[in-house]
Structure 1
Amino acid sequence: MRAAPELVCPAGSLRALQMALEAGADAVYLGLRDATNARNFAGLNFDDAQVRAGVEQAHAQGAKVLMALNTFADAGDAGPWLRAVDRAAELGADALIVADTAVLAHASRNHPGLRLHLSVQASATTHAAIEFYRRHYGIQRAVLPRVLTLSQVAHVIRNTSVDIEVFGFGSLCVMVEGRCALSSYATGSSPNNAGVCSPPAAVRWTERDGTVEARLNEVLIDRYGPTEPRGYPTLCKGRFLVEGQRDYALEEPTSLNTLDILPRLIEAGVKAVKIEGRQRSPAYVAEVTRVWRAAIDLAASSEPYAPQADWSARLARWAEGQQHTLGAYDRPWR
């Protein structure tokens, strides 16, 4: 029997939270309806009453609520971020997911009993960086960016006492998690504070000569034929002309899916597996959580592990471009 990692699932709404719990999540992560949350979209997220209700429901089922205060504080006024820490503690959150050092300092100083998880937005990719945050702010978990190989993840785990959380399924980012200079340049908005690489206000669709052009403001991202599937325009997943060949220059539109290597992640000592997607529907949350609950339970049992065919089929409909990848976990050229 292997120690099962915690299954951490997204909750962009109270309904999504409820469906994650029903499907077997060990923890849910959510955000407030303000700029402290990197998924601050209209119609999503929680007010205080909903946080209280969500905490009560999660605790009744033995699950945890993790509050994402994962944007960087405004240089002119850090007050909203510091007050959000106090609100989260008062509302009963089990842990905070934080990147900003001032927010971490405030939390560790004023709420020493509240668990702190280092957000992926902090881009801590080495055990030395993670240990820095542990020594200075007392973090108990770090979420690794999606740029490390499996052997690098294992190396980090061997050299830190901090629990390590990795992404298991969902959108894949190969840039500097939430701080992409490319999308900032093209849209005029920071992905960290806008909550998305391609804000809707910057997206342009234009029909021209039987094709559809996708742009971010004036930057051409892709050009689609009449019957070709159209992905949401993101700079790193666009097709560009490079040395005479038009193709995906940086990253293909596909979703991270680590079901194939789940036992190896567990053996490496990963303590939590995160499902990406607070901006996704409650149906997405429910279906993906059910699959991953079954997979983790099997991988942590004494039974032989192999991903079931229906798991991939059920996840495929929620994957970007209906394609899966192991991302940086599998680099064939190494």
Structure 2
Amino acid sequence: MSNLSLDHVVKRYGDLTVVKDVSLGIKEGEFVSLLGPSGCGKTTILRMVAGLIEPSGGAIRIASTDVTRLPPNKRNIGLVFQSYALFPHMTVFENVAFGLRRKGESGTTLDGRVNEALAMVRLPGYGERYPRQLSGGQQQRVAMARAIAPRPSVLLFDEPLSNLDAKLRDEMQIELKRLQRELGITTLFVTHDQGEALSLSDRVCVMNDGIIQQFAAPEDVYRRPATAFVASFIGKPNRLKATVRGGRLTLGEGLDLRTDSALGADGSATDVFIRQEAINLTPTGADDANRIPGTIALRSFSGPQVQYVIRIAGGHELVVEAASSGTASHLEHGQPVTLEVRPQDVLVLGESVRS
């Protein structure tokens, strides 16, 4: 049974529909990310679950209770904002205690719950400090402690790591995943960062234009995208135009690709997606792989990876990502190379689906 469910939820602003008939169910203790570009409707969904926005249609349930019209304080949720939203004039202790006091907690019970929450986010002994005395990462942990102290049924995160620098963001991802696993709280996490969504989530809900494009485990979203949008949004894809000829994909000038994807009628045009990291640069390859000759047009070193732009037949270019510690890391501009792509990594997909 779903601990959090949306049933045909719609949100309109006048003639503009920003969430279009969305239905999904999140299991008890599950971590689900809403992922998509700006304006896709993901934050609107989270704010409807939180009770900050009222749906134009549909129903929202938490633990089988219809909360669609309930105010936020009646939903037993914890909410962590992008901006932390800490009270600057209150100590860390009082910030964490705020929600508990509103529920009528006091005395030793309140003290114990606050200290327990601070210990969970690895900030024991910080109760007497003020937000201005903390780093950004520490402030975000206080915001998490405040959200979990009342022991909510559902945790909601609205892009909580976007204000942090890259190194601290990586550290906080680990802390957030550890905390959620320890607590076992059903969690809905909104982000536009696919790395966050893939690494943190049990399932990822990819959205575009108010519609769910795919709702699946991270590896399924990455390896088996359901639509052209998901394939182009997740990872680093090359997108090529091809024509179906004799059960293969023709890019022109005698360059054909085999694929495991279903193909349309002979002679039909289609888009082909090949992820940068799915292409190998190798002098020898497996007999069952597509082998494509090309020439290096550009080389870019970025630390862990080397990125190549490789020109192939018909004026096409493919971007290839290779490990900087690998054998293909020292190729030079103008050097001829052979690209190897497995048929299962040549993706042919439809445009979109409705939720």
- Structure with greater helix percent: 1
- TM-score, normalised via structure 1 length: 0.24
Work out which of the two has the higher radius of gyration on C-alpha atoms and give 1 or 2. Answer: 2
Identify, as 1 or 2, the structure richer in strand.
Answer: 2
Normalising by structure 2, report the TM-score.
0.23
Q: Which is bigger in relative contact order (C-alpha 8 A, separation at least 6)? A: 1
